[in-house]
Amino acid sequence: MAYDLIVIGSGPGGYVCAVRAAQLGLKTAIVEKEKTLGGTCLNIGCIPSKALLQASEHFHEVGHGMAAFGVIVDPPKLDHKALMKHKDDVVSANVNGVAFLMKKNKVDVHQGLGAITGKGQVTVTAAGGETKVLETKSIVIATGSESAMLPGVVVDEKQVVTSTGALSLEKVPGKLLVIGAGVIGLELGSAWGRLGAKVEVVEFLDRILPGMDGEVAKQMQRTLEKQGFTFNLSSKVTKAETGKIGVETSYQPGAGGFLLPQDSSGRDGVKVTFEPVAGGEAKTIEADVVLVATGRRPNTAGLNLDAMKIATERGRVIIDGHFRTNIEAVYAIGDVVRGPMLAHKAEDEGVAVAELIAGKAGHVNYDVIPAVVYTQPEVASVGKTEEELKEAGVAYVVGKFPFTANGRARAMRHTDGFVKFLADAKTDRVLGAHIVGFGAGEMIHEIAVLMEFGGSSEDLARTCHAHPTMSEAVKEAAMGVEKRSIHI
Ligand code: FAD
Ligand code: NAI
């Protein structure tokens, strides 16, 4: 059967591309190697992690945050099975929703590993080994990414886990050691921390949340420390060994592992050795579970890229401004190409490439891609950071407003954080904005729209905001660019 378009990979990039292509009248198929559609995001990423974060937030809030409102409750108990069921149900509802969308839009789904085996040809190999060859005019590679591994650290997804194992731990770990203070480390560290785990983080850089505005990262580090996180910055893990912990051992780094005492009554765990990046004394700590969260790498396994001479750079498929690879009619989008590894970026690329293939003018504005870290408080960011503006030599003005001065935030006892605007010193055009605060991930979008329209801080400052809302802090921060905030 001949298609107009075959999309390989059914994550947010792939399935959104398929739907848009079908809307535009292209005969479309999608190839997915896993049993369920939706990719990393729906199965083992955004969606299950947010289900855990939400549940753990309720648990923590009921346990710690109610008395101040005059609501006295018994300490909450955790039903681990119900917690996991909630997460699994949310995943099922979402992946079934994608299957429904494929049917509704008449997109054929082929289950199996997709490989590009010739011009306009995709070979699908099912789990049982059967193959079928599909013909198509265009191909979109949307095969996403997978967790990056760390030398000296063997992942078993039980005690030494990637984000995938961390979403399905059998019980709350007494101690969770997180390697990497990026988005996954802080989100999943928060989820288990709120349920009772002691969270310790080892981070290679001298700061957390690399790539985000420095002031935001500092504030979040302080906040997370207050929540019980311990950070070891400028440190690198050299070894993680599973064995018994909680017992005296004659462990000696470099001596080939740790020796258990004859009469061991310890519990299963992991010993992690790390040392300062600049050199110095190594330290070993014990943890029940270790989460490796040191980034993700593009996934191109099985695609047959080398034989097809499809060019890659450091694992990522190289594309031009129209998502074209170096081979005619083969496109690529999402985590497997350059840019931030974010679901909404993949989705927007999916729409744009489908439109381009259908002869329309698809486009993604990479200057306005919001990013949200779903900790509590949340971190949300769009556009340039202060560090990026300094490095580019752009003259800018800062407008800032703290949630401590916002009435609604006080009423909700969510006064942690601030809104920060960065506007061009000459034109007042908004170049970036950063929010730490409850609901930051929702509030950021009015600034994204403003930036998409090339708006100024004054445009936002003159837009009436409902009272009392957290969003009034956004307006006040915009007013702060011209030093005319009212409530500070
Ligand atoms: P993917 O979602 O990775 O999908 C690729 C699909 O291709 C997979 O289903 C894979 O099985 C399939 N595939 C691969 N090779 C083949 C092949 N040869 N043949 C057939 N099928 C193949 N991003 C956010 O924006 N917000 C979040 O809150 C967020 N949370 C996250 C939490 C976690 C724990 C993780 C791990 C990631 C999170 N992300 C989040 C990142 C987000 O999941 C990715 O950016 C997004 O899924 C990328 O979409 P994609 O379509 O490019 O690839
Ligand atoms: P990341 O790139 O955000 O963070 C990885 C961290 O690990 C960095 O701080 C890095 O310096 C550190 N690191 C690397 N090697 C190390 C080592 N040997 N020892 C100690 N630290 C080391 O990657 P992360 O958190 O794994 O997430 C992967 C991707 O998934 C991100 O790019 C992100 O975009 C996406 N994601 C997005 C979410 C969201 O939008 N809310 C949530 C979760 C993931």
3-state secondary structure of 82: helix
Atom of ligand 2 nearest to the CA of 46: 42
Position 264 confidence tier, pLDDT thresholds 50, 70, 90: low
Out of 292, 310, 342, a domain closes at 292
pLDDT, one tens digit per residue, over 394-447 is 999 999 999 999 999 999 999 999 999 999 999 999 999 999 999 999 999 999
pLDDT score recorded for residue 266? 81
Provide long-range contacts, Cβ within 8 A and 24+ apart, for 275-283. 275/235, 275/236, 275/238, 276/234, 276/235, 277/204, 277/234, 277/235, 277/236, 278/234, 282/238, 282/253, 283/232
Please give the distance, rounded to the nearest whole angstrom, from the Cα atom of residue 138 to the centre of ligand 1. 22
Residue 335 in contact with ligand 2 by CB distance below 6 A = no
CATH number of the domain residue 268 falls in: 3.50.50.60
Domain count, the chain: 3
Mean pLDDT within 223-252:
85
Q: Chain centroid to CA 281: how far? A: 33
Please give the distance, rounded to the nearest whole angstrom, from the Cα atom of residue 138 to the centre of ligand 2. 33
User: Same structural domain for residues 198 and 218?
Assistant: yes
pLDDT, one tens digit per residue, over 291-307 is 999 999 999 999 999 99
User: Same structural domain for residues 255 and 288?
Assistant: yes
Atom of ligand 2 nearest to the CA of 293: 26
Out of 332, 357, 382, a domain closes at 357
User: Same structural domain for residues 87 and 133?
Assistant: yes
Residue 237 in contact with ligand 2 by CB distance below 6 A = yes
pLDDT score recorded for residue 250? 44
In this model, does residue 258 exceed pLDDT 80? Answer: no
- 292 close to 147: Cβ distance less than 8 angstroms: yes
pLDDT score recorded for residue 146? 98
Mean pLDDT within 365-370:
98
Residue 41 in contact with ligand 2 by CB distance below 6 A = no
User: Same structural domain for residues 11 and 138?
Assistant: yes
In 3D, which of 472, 470, 474, 469 has the Cα closest to residue 451?
474
CA distance 455 to 435: 18
Alpha carbon distances (Å) from 278 to 65, 149, 203, 234: 41, 22, 13, 8
User: Same structural domain for residues 348 and 378?
Assistant: no
Helix (H) or strand (E) holding 331: strand 330-332
Please name the residue whose Cα sits nearest to atom 28 of ligand 2: 295
User: Same structural domain for residues 419 and 439?
Assistant: yes
- 60 close to 194: Cβ distance less than 8 angstroms: yes
**488 inside domain:** no
User: Same structural domain for residues 228 and 308?
Assistant: no
In this model, does residue 249 exceed pLDDT 60? Answer: no
User: Same structural domain for residues 386 and 314?
Assistant: no
Position 1 confidence tier, pLDDT thresholds 50, 70, 90: low
pLDDT score recorded for residue 263? 47
Atom of ligand 2 nearest to the CA of 147: 26
Burial bucket for residue 474 (CB in 10 Å: 0-12, 13-18, 19+):
buried
pLDDT, one tens digit per residue, over 114-171 is 999 999 999 999 999 999 999 999 999 999 999 999 998 999 999 999 999 999 999 9
Q: What is the largest CA-CA distance in the chain?
A: 73
pLDDT score recorded for residue 247? 57
In this model, does residue 359 exceed pLDDT 80? Answer: yes
**Which structure tokens are listed for 94?**
């979402």
Dihedral of alpha carbons 447, 448, 452, 454, sign: positive
Domain that holds residue 118: 2-147+296-357
Position 97 confidence tier, pLDDT thresholds 50, 70, 90: very high
**264 inside domain:** yes
Radius of gyration of the chain (CA): 24
Residue 339 in contact with ligand 2 by CB distance below 6 A = no
Q: How many residues does the chain have?
A: 488
Residue 239 in contact with ligand 2 by CB distance below 6 A = no
User: Same structural domain for residues 127 and 69?
Assistant: yes
User: Same structural domain for residues 181 and 250?
Assistant: yes
Residue 53 in contact with ligand 2 by CB distance below 6 A = no
In this model, does residue 256 exceed pLDDT 90? Answer: no
Residue 440 in contact with ligand 2 by CB distance below 6 A = no
Listed in sequence order, the residues at least 6 apart from 283 whose beta carbon sits closer than 8 Å to its beta carbon are 232, 273, 274, 275
User: Same structural domain for residues 301 and 288?
Assistant: no
| DSSP strands (E only) in 83-202 | 108-111, 113-118, 121-125, 131-141, 145-147, 160-161, 175-179, 198-202
Please give the distance, rounded to the nearest whole angstrom, from the Cα atom of residue 217 to the centre of ligand 2. 14
**204 inside domain:** yes
Please give the distance, rounded to the nearest whole angstrom, from the Cα atom of residue 179 to the centre of ligand 2. 9
Out of 292, 318, 336, a domain closes at 292
| DSSP strands (E only) in 23-73 | 28-32
pLDDT score recorded for residue 152? 86
- Return the active site residues: 467
Pocket test for ligand 1, best of 8, 41, 323 (most atoms within 8 A of CB): 41
**155 inside domain:** no
pLDDT > 70 in the chain, percent? 96
CA distance 458 to 467: 19
Residue 186 in contact with ligand 2 by CB distance below 6 A = no
Q: Which ligand is nearest to the CA of 381?
A: 2
pLDDT score recorded for residue 265? 66
pLDDT, one tens digit per residue, over 49-92 is 999 999 999 999 999 989 999 999 999 999 999 999 999 999 99
User: Same structural domain for residues 188 and 129?
Assistant: no
Please give the distance, rounded to the nearest whole angstrom, from the Cα atom of residue 84 to the centre of ligand 1. 21
Q: Which ligand is nearest to the CA of 373?
A: 2
pLDDT score recorded for residue 153? 94
Please give the distance, rounded to the nearest whole angstrom, from the Cα atom of residue 314 to the centre of ligand 2. 17
